[in-house]
Amino acid sequence: MKFLVVGGGAREHAIASTLHRAGAEIVVTSANANPGLERVATQSARIDPTDADRVVGFARTSHAEFAVIGPEAPLAAGVADALRSAEIPTVGPSRDGARIETSKVYCRELLRRHGIDASPKFEIPTSIDDVDRLVGRFDGPFVVKPDGLTAGKGVWVQGADFTDPKEGAVHAKSILLQGGRVLLEERLEGEEFSQMAFVTDSGVYPMPAVQDFKRALEGNRGGNTGGMGSYSQRDHLLPFLPAADRDASLEILRRTAEALRAEGSAYRGILYGGFMLTARGPVLVEFNARFGDPEGINALTLYEEGNFAALLAGVATGRVDPNLVRFRLRSTVVKYLVPPGYGDRPKPGGLLEIDEGAIEADGVHVIYGAVDAAGPGTVRLGASRGIALVGEASAIHEAGTRVEAALAHVRGEYYVRHDIGTKDDLARRVEHVRQLRAPGAKASPLPLSVAPAAAPPSSAGTPEQLIG
């Protein structure tokens, strides 16, 4: 099978490597020359991944049989629609389906239209005169979100990005004045987790749950980023996430997939739910229409060898064999090496020397992101997340320790969060949820009542079966 991989980051390197290990031939369109992708691809073209005509042209000339779209921007640009029109079955929703990610307002309204009670309290001001009144409706802290794609960086959370509600109101008004739409949301208190699934006509097929570290700096300080690293747990739950809450999040994914279908958006791709585990259960923070980056790297690392090409071909054509949806029972930790200043004012251009052989010999994988090859064993960092190191082990903290040890084989100037996947950090998160849920804890004002998990379609298999 020959797959076109669209995009040139670490997530796409992970997708392409997993396909390659399954015996697929890979061709790539990306704006940068990712050394990892270059290695697994038989052909690669420097094409802007959002340029639908050129992507389709390359898919044709390279005789790709299937396509998989990594990042959100090509989905928003309708590249999946263009590939399907050219009769190339594609993993990635249509532009309409991708609105679940590209418009936070659409996402909240879709859930409301279909009675999916998974949103925090939210308001959508339509003019700047509305803003102060609607801000006044929140009893506690709130969040300001621009409507469009922001690469995880445009969201302002009260208590982290601003303190006085008036500052939040000014931010919301400035978004409206620039012609954008804006969403105001109650600030949720809890632990975030990402639950991804393969979604196609035949059902919703879950992946292991993952926790991402969004803030740039250790101790969860600094600005919101696309994600500095992430971990997953051996049983595909998380230390603070019990099965019942994971199942409630899967039910929200299933009902959302049905809602998209009911509204005419045939969805063949990845659906990623970003949830906050609150005192009352999981509440949806956002949907993404693709693999998370880095969360997709955790999940793909665990994918059972051999069948990934058949699985993605099934997603692209509408029928997945549930026996192909298998993930190994191991814990994983991903840490990104980023340019100094990333998250605020990144300093690109630095060189990193990587002894990949030594790292792989220690059982850690090197996944290349926003870097360009700069000679043997050397890469040049761009302005974004450069290299992901992935460790796996039985326990999460052991996987984290492996990644830390691998850093000895990287020379150059970079920043990495050492606190990802440490015992201390995991314990803090478990304690956070325990306190939120302790009897007598301040009741959450959330109007949340997640429907009990319905029996999954027989083709999907239960999460327990997939884990077990």
- Give the interface with ligand AMP as residue ranges (CB under 6 A): 120, 143, 145, 152, 155, 157, 185, 187-188, 192, 214, 224, 274, 285-286
* Tokens found for residue 1: 């099978």
**Half-sphere exposure of residue 350: CA atoms within 13 angstroms, side-chain side:** 23
Question: Min. distance of Cβ 151 from ligand GLY in angstroms?
Answer: 8
Query: Rounded to whole angstroms, how far apart are CA atoms 450 and 55?
Result: 41
- Residue 251 beta carbon to ligand AMP: minimum distance, rounded to whole angstroms: 20
Between residues 151 and 361, which has the closer beta carbon with respect to ligand GLY? 151
State the binding partner of 288 from ligand AMP, ligand GLY, none, CB within 5 to 8 A by kind. Answer: ligand GLY
Write each residue from 200 to 229 as x if it is in contact with ligand GLY (CB under 6 A), else as -, in one continuous string: ------------x-------------xx--
DSSP E strand stretches across 259-319: 269-278, 281-288
Q: Which of 155/396 has CB closer to ligand AMP?
A: 155
End-to-end alpha carbon distance in the chain: 30
The nearest distance, CB 199 to ligand GLY, in angstroms, is 16
Among ligand GLY, ligand AMP, none, the one that 227 touches (CB under a kind-dependent 5 to 8 A) is: ligand GLY
Q: Which of residues 284-323 bind ligand GLY (CB under 6 A)?
A: 288, 292-293, 295
SS3 (DSSP) at 466: helix
- As measured in angstroms, the least distance from the Cβ of 145 to ligand AMP is 6
Selection from ligand GLY, ligand AMP, none that 145 binds (CB < 5 to 8 A by kind) is ligand AMP
Cα(294)–Cα(290) distance, rounded to whole angstroms?
11
Q: Residue 339 region, left (φ>0) first, then alpha (ψ -120 to 50), else beta?
A: beta
Contact status, residue 68 vs residue 15, Cβ threshold 8 Å: yes
For ligand GLY, the nearest residue by Cβ is: 227
**Half-sphere exposure of residue 404: CA atoms within 13 angstroms, side-chain side:** 12
Contact partner, 187, from ligand GLY, ligand AMP, none, Cβ < 5-8 Å per class: ligand AMP
Q: Please tell me the distance from the alpha carbon of residue 393 to that of residue 330, in angstroms, as a whole number.
A: 6
State yes or no: residue 152 binds ligand GLY (CB under 6 A): yes
List of residues 6+ apart from 192 with CB closer than 8 A: 211, 212, 214, 274, 275, 276, 277, 285
Q: With respect to ligand GLY, which residue has the nearer C-beta, 292 or 463? A: 292
* Comparison of 52 and 155: residue with beta carbon closer to ligand AMP: 155
> 103 is in the binding site of which of ligand AMP, ligand GLY, none (Cβ under 5 to 8 A by kind)?
none
C-alpha angle 198-43-13 in degrees, rounded to nearest 5: 40
- What residues line the site for ligand GLY (CB under 6 A)? 152, 212, 226-227, 288, 292-293, 295
